Chains A and B, each alone.
Chain A
Amino acid sequence: MLEARNVSVRRGSKALIAQASLAIVPGRLTAIIGPNGAGKSTLLRTIAGELKPSEGNVFLDGTDIARIPVARLAARRSVVSQASTLTFPFTVLEVVMLGATVPGFALRDADAAAAAQDALTSVGLHSFAPRLINELSGGERQRVHIARAICQMNTARRHPGERAAILLDEPTASLDLKHQDDVLSLVKAQSQNGRAVLLVIHDLNLAAAFADEIVLMAEGRIVAQGDPNDILNEELLSHTFGCRLRVEAFSDGRRLVLPNAISRKMGRGVAAE
């Protein structure tokens, strides 16, 4: 289990995150939502071990990650960063194979290629292996990076009982509706397979549809966290995002967030079905 306890990150006098505590649990998909500049990505990068907290600590199964060797940490969690770009003409297979190169767990090339091919198949890109990554569409490229993260978790050896975590920073940004759905279904499947998944996402409805738990952040603080139906609360969201939002409730309990402008045009009672 990866857990941030009372973590603050400062740059100069500005607090990017203040006193944030968050645990991500195997088998569950946790989504961080919040307005721009709320500190969502900063929190994810801190939990990933990329940023060092100014106060507080991040723990992996009770051990401060600052004291865990980077390779050991890489066997336990993989990360899909926002907009990874590659300057050189890598093929899709080569990118995914990088996931099988964690020092100490690196596979021989043939095995790494096989593992990478498996990961590509799991993201629906099994025929893409020899293609150049710079020439793929945004959605395809995003799935390649997810495959790399999956490959990393599939190949690095863990002790019995140690669980893997995958952290994704806005994996659906700039994707169309179909690809948003593809990517999130993929990520959801990873959590259902017993991995802990943490993702930063802007779309509240997608977050509600896929997440087991939602963390709402604003101005570097965690404002609320819990069951999606509790977080999708008209008053809470309108206040946090600083604009009027409507939350429509379906008869089966699911909820849908609409910006006020859209909601007004459609008239009240969209969800009455």
Chain B
Amino acid sequence: MTTLDETRFAAQSAVRPKRGNVFIALSLLLAVIAVFSLAIGPTGISLQALPRAIAAALGYAPEGTAERDRLVLIDLRMPRTLLAAFVGAALATAGAMMQGLFRNPLADPGLIGVSAGAALAAVATIVLGNTVGAPIVSLLGIYALPVAAFFGGLITTIGLVAIAARRGQLAIGTLLLAGIAVGAFASSISGFLAYASDDRELRDLTLWSMGSLSGASWQKVLAVLPFAIALTFLVPRLTRALNGFLLGEAEALHLGIDTERTKRLTVVTTATAVGAAVAVAGVIGFVGLVVPHVMRLISGPDNRVVIPGSALLGAALVIFADIVARMAVRPAELPIGIVLALVGAPVFLHLVLKRGVGGWE
């Protein structure tokens, strides 16, 4: 006979997979999806032809390589896949870090107004680019939009930190509320600009606000490379400290964590990641909220697994969504934001319902 205590024990035990195994599995998933992303598109490259095309792309052209395959691969698929990976990794990492800092599974990079600030700058560039902003736009050329979006996000973040800092300390509650207010304010100005825009501008900014990777190029890949390197270097240094924050800010301090430094670095890191992602791909929601949540279902809440794991899973998810975006209505393309919401929302709901609320209350 099983006693009540034993059944309770069985129900409450949690088995955690090994950290290394989680990373290996996610890396494999990412690699497989990336290979498919190189092969699949309106112009298909068969999986048999792929190695030859890749070899050609690297400068070795074996017999029978189709020039078309090589061009499609180098000029379109590769930058697009790399950019999708960066955007997914950046957004998911930012989401995981925000959730860790705010101790709230519903936190999202969008929550503290960073994406709204970046979006406002981009909308302003689209709408005012032909008139008031013409000199700047003509100076920066095709980089005007990403540069504006990035600095829009950065300026919003600096403003937020200035508002929420009191006597040298960053108040997390104030940061959150101020972020919501600043985000709403930025969105309302974006709305006003949209209202004042003409039809062509309106279409441009609507599409941009749904996110897309169709403009991927090697220039954009090079532009995000420094951010990718910086994030790879910075983020792992924060994961342990963010674990302490899961107990509470005071407890983190008691555990010997420099809480002020952690808060500032986390806010700046997430803002940079989101700013760079929004700059090259427009506004893509959902990834930052859902990917860390799924990671926690897989591995438990240890941020040393959740945060790097979210980067891998986020990259895989966005590459996958981008494949769907370019195949679903080919030769046209869907905005990737629509794909992610359409596919992701039901999956997320399923996960939440199946696992209670994922263990959090």
Residues on A lying within 8 angstroms of B by beta carbon are: 45, 48-50, 70-75, 77-79, 81, 84-91, 94-95, 98-99, 101-106, 109, 127, 130-132, 134-135, 152, 156
Q: Which of B253-276 contact A (CB under 8 A)?
A: 253-259
Known: A70-B258, A73-B256, A135-B12. A94 touches B300 (CB 8 A): yes
Asked if A74 and B14 sit within 8 Å, CB to CB, the answer is no
Residue in contact with B255 in the complex, picked from A74, A89, A135, CB distance below 8 Å: A74
Are A75 and B14 interface neighbours, CB within 8 A? no
CB-based contact A132/B255 at 8 Å: no
Q: Measured between alpha carbons, how far is A106 from B304 in the docked complex, in Å?
A: 14
Selecting from B38-46, B58-66, B136-144, B239-247, the interface stretch reads B239-247
A98 and B247 form a contact (CB under 8 A): yes
**Docked-complex contact A86 and B246, CB < 8 angstroms:** yes
Q: How far is the CA of A156 from the CA of B254 in the complex (A)?
A: 13
Please determine whether A152 and B300 come into contact, CB atoms closer than 8 angstroms: no
Contact B15 A130 (CB under 8 A): yes
The 8 A-B pairs of least Cβ separation, nearest first, read A74-B256, A89-B359, A88-B301, A71-B256, A102-B256, A79-B254, A130-B13, A131-B12
Contact across chains for B247 and A50 when beta carbons are under 8 A apart: no
Is B302 interfacial (CB-CB < 8 Å)? Answer: yes
CB contacts (< 8 Å) of B9 on chain A: these are 127, 131
Note all chain B residues with C-beta closer than 8 A to A134: 359-361
- Most B CB contacts (10 A, CB to CB) among A84, A91, A95 go to A91
A98 touches B14 (CB 8 A): no
Task: Tell me, in angstroms, the Cα distance from A91 to B255 when the chains sit together.
Answer: 18
Chain A residues within 8 Å of B248, by CB = 81, 84-85
| Chain B contacts with A in 196-245, Cβ cutoff 8 A | 240-241, 243-244
Mask for B350-361, Cβ within 8 A of A = 1, else 0?
A: 000000001111
CB contact list, B1-48 vs A, under 8 A: 9, 12-16, 19
Q: How far is the CB of B240 from chain A (nearest CB, A)?
A: 6
Q: Is the CB of B251 within 8 A of A130?
A: no
Q: Is the CB of A87 within 8 A of B254?
A: no
* Pairwise interchain contact B12-A79, C-beta atoms closer than 8 A: no
Interchain nearest-CB distance for B228 vs A (Å) = 26
Beyond known contacts A81-B251, A131-B12: 20 more, CB 8 A cutoff? A70-B258, A73-B256, A78-B254, A79-B251, A87-B103, A87-B104, A87-B246, A87-B361, A88-B301, A88-B360, A89-B358, A90-B301, A94-B301, A98-B243, A99-B255, A101-B243, A101-B244, A130-B15, A131-B13, A135-B12
Contact with A along B338-360 (1 / 0, CB 8 A): 00000000000000000000111
Which residue of the partner chain B has the closest CB to A79? B254
Pairs across A and B, CB under 8 Å, 29 listed:
A45-B250, A50-B253, A50-B254, A70-B253, A70-B257, A70-B259, A71-B258, A72-B256, A73-B256, A74-B254, A78-B254, A79-B250, A79-B251, A87-B103, A88-B103, A89-B358, A89-B359, A91-B14, A91-B16, A98-B247, A101-B244, A101-B255, A103-B256, A131-B14, A132-B13, A132-B14, A134-B359, A152-B255, A156-B256
Q: Which residue of B is nearest A85, CB measured?
A: B248
Take A88-B359, A101-B244, A132-B359 as given contacts and tell me if A48 and B12 are in contact as well, using a CB distance cutoff of 8 Å. Answer: no
Residues of B within 8 A of A87 (CB): 103-105, 246, 360-361
Contacts of A81 on B, CB cut-off 8 Å?
248, 250-251, 254
- B358 / chain A contacts, CB cutoff of 8 Å: 89
Distance of A127 Cα from B9 Cα, bound (Å):
10
